[in-house]
Amino acid sequence: MNEADDGSVDTPDRQRRRGIYLLPNLFTTATLFGGFYAIIASLRGEFVPAAMAIFAAMIADTLDGRVARLTNTQTDFGKEYDSLSDMVTFGLASGVVIYIYTLHALEGTIPYGGKLAWLGAFVYTACAALRLARFNVSTHLTGGKGYFFGLPSPSAAGVTAGFVWVCAAMDVSGESPLVAIVGFVLTIMAALLMISNVRFYSFKDLNLKERVPFIYIVAVVGLFVLVSFDPPKVAFAVFLTYAVSGPVITLARRRRKRLAT
């Protein structure tokens, strides 16, 4: 044991508290790397790898929190690092990728199309930042058990990056005016849903340590088989369906309340 600068004994426990936990932060770093690589790949015109990098980052982002909880290694540092990584990957990178792929083609297509293109990408990025900031400081803004308000930024990225992945994999030109308009609508929709008060199922009540019915395992196997047929289309369809599910759930709740009164 060594004596610390403040005169106290520098015990192993004290040294451990000064450091950070490596395992969960490795997954967070992988999330950040996915966003960085997506930007580089899109600048080189490699849009399929760019979109795939964002989806790979989603897997890493899902694992870092679960690993931290399972190993009891949650820290304030990890929380902030995760939030910053999400901002870069699911906010900035996703906005840049869809802008470079197709949004820029709005110029000359509609009035003020060039400005609308980069402003749309900026609005998406800004809404991702606002969504993450609100989530960090407003822990009371949950949508009830198993739900939260606003579309999660990874799911929003799943819509935009999924659209790019599908189009690029099918050799659909991002220069097409129709593709650019559809991409713009999806980008703005995802942006507004992130900062909305619409309820979305959080999946946080799923406990991986508890026993589950055998049918759940069969469903997971079926999902893997389905994804293997056409990963870009299936991934895009899943995230688009999830994004639409929020407004549908909210409208259904309001309708039930009106009928109850």
Rounded Cα distance between 206 and 58, Å, is 18
Q: Which residue segments constitute the domains of the chain, with CATH numbers given?
A: 20-201+213-260 (1.20.120.1760)
Rounded Cα distance between 153 and 83, Å, is 10
Check residue 207 and give its pLDDT: 62
Read off the pLDDT of residues 118-176 as tens digits, 9 standing for 90 and up: 999 999 999 999 999 988 887 555 555 677 888 999 999 999 999 999 999 999 999 99
Determine contact, residues 160/128, Cβ cutoff 8 Å: no
Helix (H, G, I), strand (E, B) or coil at 198: coil
Read off the pLDDT of residues 174-190 as tens digits, 9 standing for 90 and up: 999 999 999 999 999 99
Rounded Cα distance between 129 and 87, Å, is 6
Rounded Cα distance between 182 and 186, Å, is 6
Give the burial string for 54-82 (b: 16+ CB within 10 Å, else e): bbbbbebbebbbebbeeeeeeeeebeebb
Check residue 54 and give its pLDDT: 97
In DSSP terms, 2 is beta-bridged to 10
CA-based end-to-end distance of the chain: 69
Rounded Cα distance between 177 and 166, Å, is 17
Check residue 212 and give its pLDDT: 65
Which residues of the chain have a pLDDT value below 70? 1-20, 139-145, 204-210, 212, 216
Check residue 15 and give its pLDDT: 45
Q: Which residue has the tokens 């015990």?
A: 11
